[in-house]
Amino acid sequence: MRRQTLGIKQVSLMVFVAILVVGGVFFLGQQLMNGRLQQSPKLLGKSILENLAPTKSLATNSSITKQEFNYEFFSILEQAAPPRDLPVVALETNPTIIARQQAKRQPNVKKEPTKPQRYALQLSSFGQKHDAQAFVNALAEKGYKASVVKATNESKNVQYEVHIEGGNKRKNAELLLAKIEKKTGHKGAIVETM
């Protein structure tokens, strides 16, 4: 089977016919809505007009047939809105007003920008700084860059902790800690730093 393609002329003709059909339907609809087709039934066959014409019971009702409807947008806007019964809400119980008053009472506390979470591996802690520095040097010989951090414990004693940077993801810090524990034999802990 050969597939037949349409040329530009055929497509243009189809689009033109479609536009004519839509325009004709629109024109006839407008004429029917304005009542012009009922005055000149020669434009359409009588069977179509009989189906579209109002029934005799509606046509005999003089209030419907004599009343003209004019729905122009700006004339409707100029008309006054009908009165409505709105519920009366006391100001003391209105939740919106209460929330605004509470927001005014609270002082403006500026939030400090949060710093990204950082993790470190604490491998050991010493009472003397020179002991902590000796451990840092031993780790440097094994290829790890460690540092000494001065801290106080619960009993207010100064101690020197040996830390290795663990990154900003806890999972990465856990993997690095397992690697260091395996290589050096020192047990450590993951601590949060700023």
Residue 107 belongs to some domain of the structure: no
- % of the chain at pLDDT higher than 70: 68
What is the distance between the alpha carbons of residues 92 and 85, in angstroms, rounded to a whole number?
A: 21
Residue 154 belongs to some domain of the structure: yes
Q: What is the mean pLDDT of residues 111-130?
A: 80
Non-local (6+) Cβ contacts of 132 within 8 A are 124, 125, 126, 148, 160, 161, 162
What range defines the domain where residue 137 resides? 118-193
Residue 134 belongs to some domain of the structure: yes
> Could you give phi then psi for residue 85, rounded to 5 degrees?
-90, 110
Residue 80 belongs to some domain of the structure: no
Residue 187 belongs to some domain of the structure: yes
CATH of the domain at 166: 3.30.70.1070
Residues 122 and 188 in one domain: yes
What pLDDT shows up at residue 123? 84
pTM for the model: 0.40
Residue 39 belongs to some domain of the structure: yes
For 20, the token pair is 């004519």
What pLDDT shows up at residue 58? 47
Report whether pLDDT(3) > 80. Answer: no
Mean pLDDT estimate for the chain: 76
Per the structure, the count of domains in the chain is: 2
Report whether pLDDT(66) > 80. Answer: no
What are the tens digits of pLDDT across the range 157-194? Answer: 888 988 888 888 888 888 888 888 888 787 888 888 76
What are the tens digits of pLDDT across the range 20-62? Answer: 999 999 888 877 777 655 555 554 555 555 555 555 444 444 4
